[in-house]
Chains A and B, each alone.
Chain A
Amino acid sequence: MAYSDKVVDHYNNPRNVGTLDKSSQEVGTGLVGAPECGDVMRLQIRVNPETQVIEEAKFKTFGCGSAIASSSLATEWIKGRTVEDALAIKNTDIVKELSLPPVKIHCSVLAEDAIRAAIGDWKKKNGVAETETAPAEAKA
C-alpha cells in the first residue's frame, strides 16, 4: 500500500519529535497504544497556565508510518491552540489531511487519543475539571 505524499513528508521530517519534562506542572503527558498492532505513542504538551494555550507539543511514536505522521501532524495542529480548542480535533480530520486508507484509520485514532490523554493529564495535574468532550454527537 502506498503512503500519501503528506504521510511520507511527515514520516521523513517528523515535526516536534522529543520529550518534555514529565514532572513539570505545566506539562501534560499522554501515552496510548493501539491493540491492533502494538504500536505506542507518547504525546506531551506544555500549557501556559495563564492563557491555557498549548505552547509546546512533542511526540515520540513507535509505530507505522501513518502513526508517526498522525502524531506529527497532531502536534503541529495543537500548538498555539487552547486546550479546549485542541480537544475539537478529530481523528477524521487527520484521516482527511493525510488521506489515510481505511486500514490505517486506527493510527489516526491513536493520535486523537494521545491528544486527549495529554490534555486529561494536564487537567488532572492542574485541578481543571474534565469537560464532557463527547465528539460530534454533542453538537448534532
Chain B
Amino acid sequence: MLKVLDSAVPVACWSCSVAHNDATLFCPHCSKIQPPPGGDYFSVFGLEPRLNLDLAALEQEFHRLSRRLHPDRFARAGENEKQWSLADTALLNDAYRTLKDPIHRTEYLLKLHGAEIGDEHSGKDRRDPSRVPADLLEEVFELNMQLEEMRMARSAGETDTELQASLEQAKRKFDGLLEDVDKDLRNEWQAWDEGDDVARKAAQNKMVALLDRRRYLSNLVRDVTETLGA
C-alpha cells in the first residue's frame, strides 16, 4: 500500500541518535545504514516528487546508493545492518524501476496523490463517460473483429494477406496514437511540476484520462503484435 505524501517524519538514528527525516537510507550524521525508510520512492533519491526528472542524475544516484548498499560492505556488520542492506537494496531497486519509466513514474505519483488508476477504480468513477475513449470504440471493435478473423484463418492453416496488411496498417495507426498520448502526457508533466494546487488538480485529471486511453491503446497494440507474430 502506498503511503500518503507526508514523509518528513523525523526519526532518531539507531547508531548516533541524531534525528534525521525518515526518508534516507543512510544517516546524514554518522553515515550508518538505516532501516528501510517509510517515505515515497522520490525521497529515496532525495528528490521532490516531480514528473520531469533528470534521468541521468537518477541513474547516477541509483548506482551510487547501490554501491553503498552492496552486501560485501556489510560482511562484518551486525545482523541488523546486514538485514537492512538487503531490505534497502530491494526498496532502492523498486524505486529506481518505478521512477525511471515515464509511465510508471506518472502512475506512481498520481497514486501518491490519491488518484485511482486502472483497475483500482473498480466502481466509483465508472459512470464518468469522459473516461471511456469513445472516439476509439468503433475502431477498437473493428480491430478486434479482424484479429478474431485472423486467428481463425490461422488455425485453419490459411493466410489472408489482405487481412494481414490491414492489421499491419492498424498497428501503425495505433502506435501513432500511442505516441500522441505520450506527448500529451509529457505536456501535463510540466503543468503538474510547476503548477499551483488548482493547476495540479487539473493536470492530474487529464493524466488519469490519458493513462486510461494509453492502457486501451497499448493492449490493442499488444494483441495485434501477438496475432501478427503468431
* B212 located at the interface, meaning its Cβ lies under 8 Å from any Cβ of chain A in the complex: yes
Task: Check A36/B140 contact, CB under 8 A, given A106-B123, A106-B126, A109-B126.
Answer: no
A102 to B215, CA, bound (A): 21
Question: Of A27-35, A45-53, A73-81, which binds chain B?
Answer: A27-35
In the complex, whether B144 has a CB less than 8 A from a CB of chain A is yes
**Residue pair B137, A62 in contact (C-beta under 8 Å):** no
Q: State A102–B121 Cα separation when bound (angstroms).
A: 11
Determine whether A140 belongs to the interface, using a CB cutoff of 8 Å to chain B. Answer: no
**Which of A31, A32, A102 sits near B122, CB closer than 8 Å?**
A102
The answer to the question of A38 belonging to the interface, with a C-beta cut-off of 8 Å to chain B, is: yes
Task: Please indicate the chain B residues that have their CB under 8 angstroms from the CB of A40 in the complex.
Answer: 137, 140-141, 144
Interface hits, B4-62 → A, CB 8 Å: none
Q: Is there contact, CB below 8 Å, between B215 and A38? A: yes
Number of A-B residue pairs at CB separation under 8 A:
52
Q: Indicate if B2 sits at the interface (CB-CB under 8 A).
A: no
**Max chain B Cβ within 10 angstroms of own Cβ: one of A31, A40, A60, A62:** A40
Q: A37: CB under 8 A from chain B? A: yes
Shortest CB distance A109–B (Å): 5
Of B122, B126, B132, B141, the contact of A62 (CB 8 Å cutoff): B141
Complex A-B, nearest 10 residue pairs according to Cβ-Cβ distance, in ascending order: A62-B144, A38-B219, A35-B212, A35-B131, A38-B216, A36-B119, A40-B141, A31-B137, A35-B132, A33-B132
User: Does chain A have a CB within 8 A of B220?
Assistant: yes
Q: How many angstroms between the C-alpha atoms of A34 and B215 in the bound complex?
A: 11
User: Does the CB pair A36–B122 fall under 8 Å?
Assistant: yes
> Closest CB of chain A to B109's CB: distance in Å?
20
Binding site for A on B (CB under 8 A): 118-119, 121-123, 126-127, 131-134, 136-138, 140-141, 144-145, 148, 212, 215-216, 219-220
User: How many whole Å from A112's CB to the nearest CB in chain B?
Assistant: 10
- Cβ of B140: which chain A residues have Cβ within 8 Å of it? 33, 38, 40
Apart from A33-B136, A36-B122, A37-B119, 20 more pairs, CB < 8 Å: A31-B137, A32-B132, A33-B132, A33-B134, A34-B132, A35-B132, A35-B212, A35-B216, A36-B121, A37-B219, A38-B140, A38-B216, A40-B137, A40-B144, A60-B141, A62-B141, A62-B144, A102-B122, A106-B126, A109-B126
Query: In the bound complex, what is the Cα–Cα distance between A4 and B161 (angstroms)?
Result: 40
Residues of B within 8 A of A34 (CB): 132
Bound: A40/B131 CA distance, A: 14
- CB of B224 to closest CB in A, whole Å: 13
